[in-house]
Amino acid sequence: MALPVLPAAVWFARQGKFVWFCASVVFILGCKAVLSFTVAAMGLWLLIFEKRRWCGVVAICAGVTWFVVSSQLIIPFFSGREAPAVGRYSYLGNSVLEIAQNLFLKPRLVFGKLLFPDNLGYLPLLLAPVIWGLSWTGIKPLVGAVPCVALNLLADYQPQKYLVDQYSLPALPFLLLAVISSLAAGKGWFQNPKAIIASSLVTFVWLAKFTYFGDRYLKYLSTWQETREAISLIDSQGSVLTSTRIASHLSHRPLIELTDYHSLPSDFKKYDYFLLDLSLSRDSGKNKTRFNNFLNKIQQTNLFSVKYRKDEVFLFTKK
């Protein structure tokens, strides 16, 4: 939801619509705490390069303030621990403040991570779809993309370096703004609309991962009906352990936890239901073995009985 509002905020700033700009900033910050960095960086760009003083100051102050409030007050209060993403930067510290401190005190760790082989492939892939439209003249909007890209480069979490996941999205509006700025100044490798469209189509076909649709998604249709039947048998307030694919259909209850079948829960008694789908483990023999071990452990506890079983879908309920 924040993605289209970011360029809208830039437009409001350029048009002098201060109230709408402030509303946009509030909306963006309300979407995700990590967007605080992007908002602050956008403010820095507006302040220094766009000469939008008040909009820049508001964005910087709002971004910094909201990050401190969310990471140091809200998240610890409700979860009882640091923000979950802290674990992705554990080589820099065990808390937000420690990580921030070590970014400056231990530059060797930072530069060592930036030169990691996975990062060398991430940046070319990120820039490939728009490289034809970038130039030194229009590069200033990329200031807003720096926090997002830096967080992905420094993370120990591999999905942050893959374009198929959502982690690079906050950089997209600023990549597009950089291309717009370059074309408006008559710069960039391509100026001809046909060449621009052809380049965009080529990179789309190259990066769109068409095979995922059939390989990752359509295969779950085989158990779709069985999963729906099992879900209908679960009480609206009962605690559930299930997989990530099913969990969103069982929300709005006091307790729901996720399993990837790699590890067993420490306390079986806190769950009222286990909803498991064997089709999720078809990808390899190792995954199938993990699933069967998981299944056997549940049965050995003698706390649960099978309420529903059809094809590859199992629903256990507490006796």
pLDDT tens for residues 143-155? 999 999 999 999 9
Q: What is the pLDDT of residue 281?
A: 56
Q: What whole-number distance in Å separates Cα of residue 214 and Cα of residue 211?
A: 6
Q: What whole-number distance in Å separates Cα of residue 192 and Cα of residue 199?
A: 11
Name the nearest CA neighbour of 177 among 227, 127, 142.
Answer: 142
Q: What is the pLDDT of residue 79?
A: 85
- Spell out a b/e string for 242-275, using b for 16 or more CB atoms within 10 Å of the CB, else e: bbeebbeebeeeeebeebebeeeeeebeebbbbb
Which phi and psi (to 5°) does residue 232 adopt?
Answer: -65, -15
Q: What is the pLDDT of residue 112?
A: 82
Cβ burial, residue 102 (10 Å; 0-12/13-18/19+): middle
CB-based contact 92:106 (threshold 8 Å):
yes
Q: What is the pLDDT of residue 74?
A: 93
Q: Which residue has the tokens 């728009």?
A: 130
- pLDDT tens digit string along 153-188? 999 888 899 888 899 999 999 999 999 999 999 888
Strands 240-242, 256-258: pairing is parallel
Q: What is the pLDDT of residue 13?
A: 97
- pLDDT tens digit string along 227-252? 999 999 998 899 999 988 899 999 88
> What stretches in the chain show pLDDT beneath 50?
284
- CATH among 2.30.30, 3.30.1490, 3.30.110, 3.30.420 for 220-318: 3.30.110
- 268's tokens: 């079986």
Q: What is the pLDDT of residue 49?
A: 95
List every span in the chain annotated with CATH 3.30.110: 220-318
Q: What whole-number distance in Å separates Cα of residue 251 and Cα of residue 242?
A: 11
pTM given for the model: 0.78
Q: What whole-number distance in Å separates Cα of residue 151 and Cα of residue 168?
A: 10
Which phi and psi (to 5°) does residue 273 adopt?
Answer: -140, 145
Which phi and psi (to 5°) does residue 235 adopt?
Answer: -65, 145
